[in-house]
Amino acid sequence: MAEMSDVFFVDGMRTPFGRAGEKGMYWNTRADDLVVKAIIGLMERNGDVPKDRIDDVAIAATSQTGDQGLTLGRTAAILAGLPMTVPGLAIERMCAGAMTSVTTMGASIGVGMYDLALAGGVEHMGRHPIGGNVDPNPRFVAEKLVDPGALNMGVTAERIHDRFPHLTKERSDRFGMASQHKVQAAYDAGKLQPDLVPVAVKDADGAWGLATEDEGRRPETTLEGLASLKTPFRPHGRVTAGTSSPLTDGATISLLAGGDAVKELGLRPKMRMVSFAFAGVQPEIMGIGPIPSTEKALKKAGLTIDDIGLFELNEAFAIQVISLLDHFGIADDDPRVNPWGGAIAVGHPLAASGVRLMIQLAAQFAERPDVRYGLTAMCVGLGQGGSVIWENPFFDGKKKRK
């Protein structure tokens, strides 16, 4: 009989993230090839894991069409050289795709059905813009089930500013600038590079190169520069390109394992899954989604927000993160929050981003044995939020030295 099991995040890797569009480094690279490259890199780094022991491969994509279609988990597994005996599936929950890949595979491990699984996501927003090639049911608008603006993520961000006037544009600008500076500091300190899989890329002239770093970073960002940016989602609005995640291409992948597999194969997990939750909110203000999902995840874990020592929050928009921090009484510049920056600087390839949060949290856990619990959380299009709470296996109970 299968028994309940702990769920461990053994390792995670990702491609460098590229700017979406014709000028981006992945314009001539297929979406499925990005996730294949990530899988190959992860399996090479974890060579002691027998490929035929992978029970399932879950790969998410928001736009499941073209080179992001055809049951990505299965096709990517085959293309990455996993045995034909390894099955796979595709998952779609917009921005929380990779997060849902992890929680779905994690749940399968938790109930004892799986021992090992791969979970991740990919988004080529250059080839597949959000909402492209879809046909929303006319009832959404005809019956006023959802405001038409709910499908424009920037409009939903403006509405959070409307609802909470004390969350000012100046606070968003300051948060956006800090993200850029923190990401560059993390690069300068070599924090992010170890988990990046280099990708061969071809430019418009047919010349080959190697993508080794996130392409969209703007470390020179200043408050003065941000203050002068246009507000594309509303005249005289408060959301700008400097406080929004850019359109991005990229892929992420993680290796999950149950307790028995960890012992049998001598694996060294980077995190243990404690709880997870998803929640729905009004689509018109989808950015507040992580608030109820985090409350649910904390309740399931028997924890409070004060127990969380590190936060990896997806920066779809600065205002979205600030609204969560404000709700829980956490300062905008709290050092526990996104210490290595976030999506405003590195990008947000929709369905891939959840595992990027986990990769960064795992790397921080290794450096912070004084921290026991961490949170990865994100808002999700059409009015949802997703949260996963993790435990640090390196926790030693000692307070951090100043």
Above 90 in pLDDT, residue 140?
Answer: no
Above 70 in pLDDT, residue 317?
Answer: yes
- Average pLDDT for the chain: 96
Is 161 assigned a catalytic role? no
- The token pair that represents 290 in the structure block: 């992580």
Q: What is the pLDDT of residues 93-125, one digit of tens each?
A: 999 999 999 999 999 999 999 999 999 999 999
Tell which residue, 323, 357, 328, 352, has the closest CA to residue 342: 357
Residues in the chain: 402
* Residue 88 backbone dihedrals phi, psi, to 5 degrees: -160, 165
Above 60 in pLDDT, residue 251?
Answer: yes
Residue 183 banded pLDDT, cuts 50, 70, 90: very high
Residue 397 banded pLDDT, cuts 50, 70, 90: confident
Residues with Cβ within 8 Å of 204's Cβ and at least 6 positions away in sequence, in order, are: 22, 27, 28
pLDDT for res 401: 56
Above 90 in pLDDT, residue 130?
Answer: no
pLDDT for res 48: 94
Nearest-5° Cα angle at 39, 394 to 181 = 60
Indicate the SS3 state at residue 256. Answer: strand
Residue 141 banded pLDDT, cuts 50, 70, 90: confident
Q: Which helix (H) or strand (E) holds 297?
A: helix 290-301
pLDDT for res 254: 99
**What is the average pLDDT across 312-336?**
98
Catalytic residue among 95, 124, 128, 161: 95
- The token pair that represents 360 in the structure block: 């960064």
Q: State what percent of residues in the chain have pLDDT above 90.
A: 90
| Separation CA 310–CA 303 (nearest Å) | 14
Q: What is the pLDDT of residues 143-161, one digit of tens each?
A: 888 887 777 889 999 999 9
Tell which residue, 24, 31, 32, has the closest CA to residue 248: 24
| Separation CA 250–CA 17 (nearest Å) | 5
Catalytic residue among 124, 128, 161, 348: 348
- Tell me which residue has tokens 């603006």: 149
Nearest-5° Cα angle at 221, 217 to 222 = 170
Above 90 in pLDDT, residue 189?
Answer: yes
Above 80 in pLDDT, residue 399?
Answer: no
Q: What is the pLDDT of residues 67-100, one digit of tens each?
A: 999 999 999 999 999 999 999 999 999 999 999 9
Nearest-5° Cα angle at 112, 107 to 116 = 75
Residues with Cβ within 8 Å of 401's Cβ and at least 6 positions away in sequence, in order, are: none
**What is the average pLDDT across 29-35?**
98
Is 348 assigned a catalytic role? yes
Residue 197 and residue 11 in contact, taking contact as beta carbons nearer than 8 Å = no
β-bridge pairing 56-60 and 88-91: parallel
Catalytic residue among 124, 128, 161, 379: 379
> Percentage helix, strand, coil, to 5, in the chain?
40, 20, 40
β-bridge pairing 271-280 and 199-202: unpaired
CA atoms in the 13 A half-sphere facing the CB of 56: 19
Please tell me the least confidently modeled range out of 126-140, 261-275, 284-298.
Answer: 126-140
Is 327 assigned a catalytic role? no
Q: What is the pLDDT of residues 337-394, one digit of tens each?
A: 999 999 999 999 999 999 999 999 999 999 999 999 999 999 999 999 999 999 999 9
pLDDT for res 152: 84
| Separation CA 102–CA 104 (nearest Å) | 5
DSSP character for 376?
E
Query: Following DSSP, what letter does each residue of 127-141 receive, concatenated?
Result: TS-TTTT----THHH
| Separation CA 397–CA 373 (nearest Å) | 11
Residue 261 banded pLDDT, cuts 50, 70, 90: very high
